[in-house]
Amino acid sequence: MPPSDLLRLPVDELRSSRLAELLASIDAADAADAPLLTLLFDKAFSGDAGLQLLRSAAVQEALRATALVHADDAIRSFALVHCKRLAAAAADVSLLGASGVLQQIAVLVSDASLGVSQRAVGFFVACAASAGALRAVLDHAPSRTALLAPCAAAAADPAGGVPALALRTLALFGEIAAIGDAQCAMCEESGALDLALAAWRGSDELVRLNALEVFALLARVPRGLHWLEAHGVVDDLLAQARGAEADGDAPMAEVGAFAVAAQLCSTCARFAADGEVASVQPALRALIAAVSPSAGTAPGDALAALGLLHLLLHAEAVLTPDELRDKHALASALLKSTAAADVIGAGAATVRQLREYVAAGPFAAQSKAEARPEGPLTL
C-alpha cells in the first residue's frame, strides 16, 4: 500500500496490522516521498503509545538497517528526529545501543550532508542533558569508537592536520562539556578534548579559531576553566596577547579570542567560591590587562568594547525595523569615533567587519555569535 493510502488509516491500525507495510515504505521512498513519510511517521509514533512503539524491536531494526542508512538525506534526517525522542533517558539510550541504532547515529555525525550531521549532533547534545544518558552513550564501546573515529584519525597522523570531520566532533564535545561539570569530566575522560589542544597549537589559523570556539564553550563551567588552565591554554592566550601584531590580525585581536577571555572572567566571577576556579584568577587578571589594545585603554574598557561589538556584529535577537536602524546608526557613529578606534584597535579585523556591516545597511543578514558544533569555521 502506498504511503498516501496508509496515511488515511486509523492510527491503531498503523501501529499493529499495518506496521510492517509502514516500515517497508521507508525503503522504497525517495526525496519526493519524504514530506508524506514525515506526516505518516508523525501520526504513527505520536504520544506515549508511539514512543513505546519506537522502542520495539521491529522499529529499531527498521531505523538501523533502512531509515538511518537511506540514500536520501531527508529520510535520514526525519529518522533522526524520531530517534531524538529516545535521547532523554539512560535506559532508552542503552536500548538504542543494544539495537545498533546508537552506533549508526554516531556515524551520521560525520555524514556528507551537513543537515543530517546537524541532526545527529543534536541527538547527542540532547543525550548530554542527562549525565546518565551521556554515560550510556560513552559506555557503549562501538558508538564511542564511531564518534571519536575522526579524532583518532587526526591523532594517528598529526602531519595530516585536523580534518573538517574531526572539527565537527571536537565542536560536539565542546558543546556537551559546556552543559556541566559532570559532562565536561566525561568529555575529558573520552580523550576528545586532547584534539582541542592539538588544533590550538597547530599552524592552521582557521583550525586554531575552531579551537577558540571550543575553548569558549569549555570556559562556561568550572571544570572546563580548570582544564584550560591546567593544560596551559590561559598561559597560551596571555603569551598570544602580549605578542599580538600591531596590525590587529593576530588571533588574539579577533573577537573569538576576546570571547574566550570574557567567558573565563564570567565563569571565574560566578564560581568564585570554587577553590580551583579562584586559583586561576591571577592569570586571568594578567590576560585581561594584556588584551587591552593600547596602553591608554583600561581592561574594563576593552571588555566593554567587546560587549558592544558583540551586539553590533551578530544577530542576537529578533529586532523591529526601527531597532535595526538604531543599531546600524550606532555602528556608523562608532566608526567615526577616534576614541572608539583606539579602544578596538584601528587596524583590527573587527573594524573591517564593522565597516562591512555599515556598508551593507541596517537589514543585512548577520550570523549568530554562539559557537555551534554543526557549523565550525572551516566547513
pLDDT value at position 199? 84
Report the range of poorest mean pLDDT among 179-183, 285-289, 290-294, 373-377.
373-377
Q: How confident is the model at residue 113 (pLDDT cuts 50, 70, 90)?
A: very high
Per-residue pLDDT at 249 = 46
Structure confidence by residue, pLDDT tens digits, 182-236: 999 999 999 889 888 888 888 887 788 888 889 989 988 999 988 998 899 888 8
Question: What's the pLDDT at 246?
Answer: 41
Domains of the chain: 1-160 (1.25.10.10), 204-379 (no CATH)
Specify the pLDDT at position 107: 96
In single-letter form, the type of residue at position 52 comes to Q
DSSP letters of 215-283? HHHHTTSHHHHHHHHHTTHHHHHHHHHHT--TTS-SGGGSHHHHHHHHHHHHHHHHTTTSHHHHTTHHH
Q: Which three cell numbers stand for residue 173?
A: 564535545
pLDDT of residue 161: 66
Q: Give the DSSP letter of residue 298.
A: -
- Closest by alpha carbon to 379, among 187, 118, 154, 196? 118
Per-residue model confidence as pLDDT tens digits over 4-42: 888 899 999 999 999 999 999 888 887 788 888 888 889
When the pLDDT of each residue in the chain is averaged and rounded to a whole number, the result is: 80
Overall pTM > 0.85: no
| Percent of the chain at pLDDT exceeding 90 | 38
Contact 177, 183 (CB under 8 A): yes
| 105-109, 195-199, 250-254: range with lowest mean pLDDT | 250-254
Inform me whether the pLDDT recorded for 72 exceeds 80: yes
Look at residue 117 in the predicted model and tell me its pLDDT. 94
Distance CA 81, CA 91 (A): 18
Q: Which residues contact 27 (CB under 8 A, 6 or more apart)?
A: 66, 70
Highest averaged pLDDT of the listed ranges 112-116, 208-212, 288-292: 112-116
Write out pLDDT tens, residues 335-359: 665 555 555 555 556 677 778 888 8
Task: Identify which has the larger pLDDT, 1 or 81.
Answer: 81
